[in-house]
Structure 1
Amino acid sequence: MAFSQSVIRSQAPAKCGLCETDQPIKWKCIDCCKILCNHCKEKVHPEFQNAKDHKIVNIKDVGQPIVVELNINKQYSTEVSGVDYMSYCDDDSLWISDNKDKVLQRVKPEGTKLNILSSFNIPVYAMAITQTNNLLISALESRLKQISNTGTLTDSVYNVSPFHSAAVHITSDNKVLVGCINKDYPEPGRTVVILMNQNGDHERVYEHDQHKQPIFTVPCSITSTSNGNIYVVDITSYGRYRVEVLGRGGDIINIYTGDTEINRDRPFHPTDIVTTPRDNVIVADVRTNTLHILNNAGLLMTWYKTKLQVNKEELEFPNKYEILMQG
């Protein structure tokens, strides 16, 4: 069975988003989401409110459309009621978790089956594989759990007190990013993303933007790209999601809330996010069965429909917001 063909939209020749003339397009303001000619970049855009805080990039760095083609080569059956999270190990084994039954398994494909190597009864709200093949687990507690590559479950050195962890990601330089909510959630409180080194030391806390406003509401999934940008799936309220892109310095350089065409009938609902070896970012939008493919500046390059139609009953599942509410 093959996935449906990806969609690339044709476009008319682009004009400057300010003067709308035929002047050559050279720049894009990430904050304004406008493409600019040289004249408007130098003379018009600087007059915008807070323009000095805006990030402008060369249009060549925005990325070009790509053609995506995916096919299912093999399928495997599992006894768990649902696979909510999955992480890949270097030995071709997989960690899969089932939130409903609070089951975590390490499995390995053999033929058409998944051979169970180990199994744990533990709630999993997020997980990530370290470069040494250890599994880090967010169990909605202050300290991350760890399962060694020999199968031993222990507390890790990664502690985000006074918060609870809700998301975890391992960067390319083996540092740990943890999305955190307050311990009394859903009561109002601080929400942050914490960067830690391999010793568990807190190197940076991302909490406020360049205007001293809170960045996150509920950071529920994280990835990063080689240029140092951090992508966070944030739940702003029940049923409302966005992907926030932070630069290396912590400033917000883009906010992606879905696409007007893809999400015309159903709201953007990302359940997970991952970076590819080519430094693109794939966002899984479960309500439309779509993979949104962003470049390393957080801009949509293309998308891929994994199914042509979504049945109503497929939309009736607990989302991360509901799971966190239940604790």
Structure 2
Amino acid sequence: MAMSRPQGQCPIQCQLCEGDPKVKWKCLDCDLLMCSKCKDKIHSKFKSEKVHRIIDIKEVGQLGKEMVSTSGQPKARVSSSPTNVKLINIKEYKTKIENINLLAVSLDGSLWIGDGNEKKGFHLFTSYTALQNVKLVGDKVKVISSFNLLVWDVAVTPNNDILLATGITVESRLKQIKAGSNKVTDSIYFVELSYIKSVHVTKDGRVIVGGDNVVVVMDTDGKHLTRYEKDEYKKLIFDGNILSITSTLNGNMFVAQPYSNPRVFVLGKGAVINNYTGPPSINRHSSFNPLSVITTPMDNVIVTDYSSHTLHILDNTGQLLTTYNTKDIGIEYPKSLAITMEGPFAVLYIGCYTWSYEDSSDIGRLYKMNIIGC
């Protein structure tokens, strides 16, 4: 087994392009280390860039010697804690979906969104809202195709196929939509569960599903690798539905159990290594409701807590790094998450619940933004 290199010895890289090791600048407001090219070409386009404090990396030592090694070169931070997470360039899109429970990004840049609710009867000339493949064009949401079926969760494979967790199924089998197709078919992924309510695909193509009290990991051929159900004392690990799953580069899996005994479990190789229940400072005002989890390009995990309008940002072992109140930027009841890279930028999508049904304009709010610092 290859040993990981101590963080203190990691070569530092530009945190925008993540490629150039010649870091020249630090933005104190964004908490970003940058090469000269990204400073001029990318950071300069930030809306508030003109008032940001940018210093030469050589001056960092004057602010805190702990940031500079004995050789005078900038050190990589021992902790990846995003002390200054920023959501910028926020764009709002209105859809005809009341509650955006489903959200995923295809490899072609299109989105999969939906409420997951199958509609009875025939609806001529109307796009179904259970599941839609859409593109964002200007400030509009263009529906490419729509599907009318019960869906609990969606995931994108490395081949750009779409896997669907459809809840109650006779065969307990994931459904799929092959890339370039508009047809829903059976996949090879079969699990002996009555309710498959969550699905996630790792970077290397492993498929992870969750249901009532169970999480199962499969390889690319559908072979079962690991089943998380009981601990070493034969007691159930989970005591509720698993509604969202993500994975980190260190091999850990994060699974969200939002309702019964709400928490985010961190699963290692065959065991629970941590669980997160939210900080007391937030929990004292509203109950913790972790409805969605997603991994960032920096290998941290974002958790939506819709009842408190909060994003909880954890490191890849499940330790809290920081929280972000989305209500401060006008985003209420965040439910679903998706993240992708557009060039050097990390782009975060947030789909929201809707509570005000009296105003028809207050439905289907989808947000797109750049996320910096995590």
Fold equivalence (TM over 0.5): yes
**Is 1:259 paired with 2:282?**
no
5 Å matches for 1:21-170? 63-100=80-117, 103-140=130-167, 141=169, 142-150=172-180, 151-170=182-201
Structure 2, unpaired ranges of 5+: 1-28, 31-76, 120-129, 334-352, 357-374
Contact 1:87 1:96 survives alignment (8 Å):
yes
Contact 1:62 1:297 survives alignment (8 Å):
no
TM superposition shift of 1:225: 0.6
Q: Deviations over 1:178-213 (max 9, x none)?
A: 0022xxxxxxxxx31111111111111111223332
Q: Distance in 2 between matches of 1:134 and 1:243?
A: 27
Q: Distance in 1 between matches of 2:310 and 2:282?
A: 8
CA spacing shift, 1:225–1:74, aligned 2, 3 Å: same
Q: Deviations over 1:108-140 (max 9, x none)?
A: 111111111111101111111111111111111
Q: Distance in 2 between matches of 1:162 and 1:77?
A: 36
Q: Distance in 1 between matches of 2:144 and 2:255?
A: 32
Q: Distance in 2 between matches of 1:274 and 1:284?
A: 9
**Higher RCO (C-alpha 8 Å, min separation 6):** 2
TM superposition shift of 1:216: 1.1
Q: Which amino acid aligns with 1:89?
A: S
**Is 1:268 paired with 2:288?**
yes
**Counterpart in the other structure of 2:265:** 244
**Counterpart in the other structure of 1:223:** 246
**Counterpart in the other structure of 1:180:** 211
Q: Deviations over 1:11-54 (max 9, x none)?
A: xxxxxxxxxxxxxxxxxxxxxxxxxxxxxxxxxxxxxxxxxxxx
TM superposition shift of 1:171: 1.0
Aligned length: 246
Q: Which amino acid aligns with 2:274?
A: N
Three-state SS of the structure 2 residue aligned to 1:261 is helix
**Is 1:300 paired with 2:311?**
no
The equivalent position to 1:197 in structure 2, one of 197, 219, 234, is 219
Structure 1, unpaired ranges of 5+: 7-59, 182-190, 318-327
TM-score relative to the length of structure 2? 0.61
Contact 2:258 2:291 survives alignment (8 Å):
no
Q: Which amino acid aligns with 1:172?
A: K
**Counterpart in the other structure of 1:286:** 306
Three-state SS of the structure 1 residue aligned to 2:192 is coil
TM superposition shift of 1:101: 5.4
Q: Distance in 2 between matches of 1:129 and 1:78?
A: 22
Three-state SS of the structure 1 residue aligned to 2:91 is coil
TM superposition shift of 1:97: 1.0
**Counterpart in the other structure of 2:122:** none
Three-state SS of the structure 1 residue aligned to 2:92 is coil
Q: Deviations over 1:79-114 (max 9, x none)?
A: 222211110012111000113455211001111111
TM-score relative to the length of structure 1? 0.70
Three-state SS of the structure 2 residue aligned to 1:287 is helix
Contact 2:230 2:236 survives alignment (8 Å):
yes
RMSD: 2.4
